[in-house]
Amino acid sequence: MGKLIVLTLSRVSRVYGGTVALDGVDIVVPENTYMSLLGASGSGKTTLLRLIAGFEEPDAGEISINGTRIDGKPPHLRDIGFVFQNFALFPHLSVAENVSFGLRHRAVSPMTNESEIQDRTQDALELVGLDGFGHRGVGAISGGQRQRVALARTLVCEPRIVLLDEPLGALDANLRSRMCDELRAIRERLGVSFLHVTGSETEALTMGDRVAVLANGRITQADAPETLFSAPETVEAARHLNAWNIFDSALCEAMPSAGEIAVRFDQMDVSAEGQAPQERPHLRAQYLTGEFNGPTALAFFRAADGSLLQVVDHLSQPRLPDLVEGQAYDLHFPLQAYRQFHGAA
């Protein structure tokens, strides 16, 4: 039996002046799911969250929670939690006062029982790993701790879905990695759905049970992260994953004309010029430079039509020859490795 749907967006559009930010977006977020929404800067990711939360209204389309339309309702009546990128904490309040603020001041059924407020606040702080921090000022704790306070303030009100607007963007790399694990664990303990917006393909694939790609104002693909990474359905999805070379098949020898194709960085091999296996599709390209990334290294090439191609080498099992800048090489790949797109932009 499939999961119930918590959030549904149907044909949602938003236009600013003459600029189309969202163009008929369709998306569903099932119950008890961590959904990542991946998009480039300016793709409309934050606009989409603001429409769901009620900070803005769509020009067309419908937004529903558990089958009930919420577009047109004010934000405080939508039962949605929102964690802002900058955390949006009250600097003059303590950690505990920030967390309890929503309980005391919500528009519907504000809590007045001090004992119950303290119990709920303590439970929320324990949930995010901040037991014992309630008395501190928010200016006296770290960035990662402030993010947890913002999350606790949202979760204490028990929303039906939590929206996270690039919640890890303000954190350093090591802290981002730790918070990825903690966010997933917190969500699983609560059983509430999260919709996490990010411009990082690594973050989206790591966090999401499902990943939706937003491009050109539409959801171009929504799938399990493994499916999206290994089998992007559109050229836009492939580009957003930052793991696929996209180029014209006419550049290749030993390959039927297929229009625009994509081959993953780690599925391309490199041989000396003229030495590619003849049964494999291959193309000539000039080696530009390399980039060392610890366990992997990237090699950058320029094809005859100007396309930039990348080949990844895993240093535990190196497979690339010694490369000389400015020299031409043959790039080749198994015939089954490429993906073909029709009508791609």
Place of tokens 């099932």: 30
Q: Are residues 172 and 280 in the same domain?
A: no
Residue 230 has pLDDT above 60, yes or no: yes
Q: Are residues 171 and 92 in the same domain?
A: yes
Look up the CATH number of the domain holding residue 56: 3.40.50.300
Q: Are residues 115 and 264 in the same domain?
A: no
Whole-model pTM: value is 0.88
Q: What is the pLDDT of residues 44-94, one digit of tens each?
A: 999 999 999 999 999 999 999 999 999 999 998 898 999 887 778 889 999
> Distance between CA atoms of 285 and 310, rounded to whole angstroms?
11
Q: What is the pLDDT of residues 14-41, one digit of tens each?
A: 999 989 999 999 999 999 999 999 999 8
- Per the prediction, the chain carries an average pLDDT of 91
Q: Are residues 211 and 294 in the same domain?
A: no
CB atoms under 10 Å from CB of 92, counted, come to 10
Confidence band for 345, pLDDT divided at 50, 70 and 90: very low
**DSSP string covering 255-316, please?**
S---SEEEEEGGG-EEEETT-S-TTS-EEEEEEEEEEE-SSEEEEEEEETTS-EEEEEEETT
Q: What is the pLDDT of residues 261-314, one digit of tens each?
A: 999 999 999 999 999 998 899 999 999 999 998 899 999 999 999 999 999 999
Of 196, 222, 240, which residue sits at a domain end? Answer: 240
Report yes or no on 11 lying in a domain. yes
Q: Show the domain range for 167.
A: 5-240
Q: What is the pLDDT of residues 145-163, one digit of tens each?
A: 888 898 899 998 889 999 9
> Which two structure tokens, joined as six digits, stand for 67?
């089958």
Confidence band for 183, pLDDT divided at 50, 70 and 90: confident
**DSSP string covering 124-139, please?**
HHHHTT-TT-TTSBGG
Of 240, 258, 287, which residue sits at a domain end? Answer: 240
Q: Are residues 180 and 276 in the same domain?
A: no
Confidence band for 2, pLDDT divided at 50, 70 and 90: low
Of 179, 211, 240, which residue sits at a domain end? Answer: 240
Q: Are residues 184 and 268 in the same domain?
A: no
Helix H or strand E segment including 238: helix 235-241
Q: Are residues 231 and 305 in the same domain?
A: no
Residue 343 has pLDDT above 60, yes or no: no
Report yes or no on 180 lying in a domain. yes
Q: How far is CA 263 from the centre of its chain?
A: 22
Q: Are residues 222 and 253 in the same domain?
A: no
pLDDT at 344: 41
Q: Are residues 215 and 193 in the same domain?
A: yes
Q: Are residues 107 and 230 in the same domain?
A: yes
Q: How many domains does the chain have?
A: 2
Q: Are residues 160 and 267 in the same domain?
A: no
pLDDT at 41: 87
Report yes or no on 345 lying in a domain. no
Report yes or no on 168 lying in a domain. yes
Report yes or no on 23 lying in a domain. yes
Confidence band for 142, pLDDT divided at 50, 70 and 90: confident
Choose between 89 and 326: higher pLDDT.
326
Report yes or no on 289 lying in a domain. yes
Compute the average pLDDT of residues 212-224. Answer: 95
Residue 172 has pLDDT above 80, yes or no: no
> Distance between CA atoms of 219 and 222, rounded to whole angstroms?
7
pLDDT at 190: 87
Report yes or no on 124 lying in a domain. yes
Q: Are residues 234 and 131 in the same domain?
A: yes
Look up the CATH number of the domain holding residue 298: 2.40.50.140
Confidence band for 255, pLDDT divided at 50, 70 and 90: confident
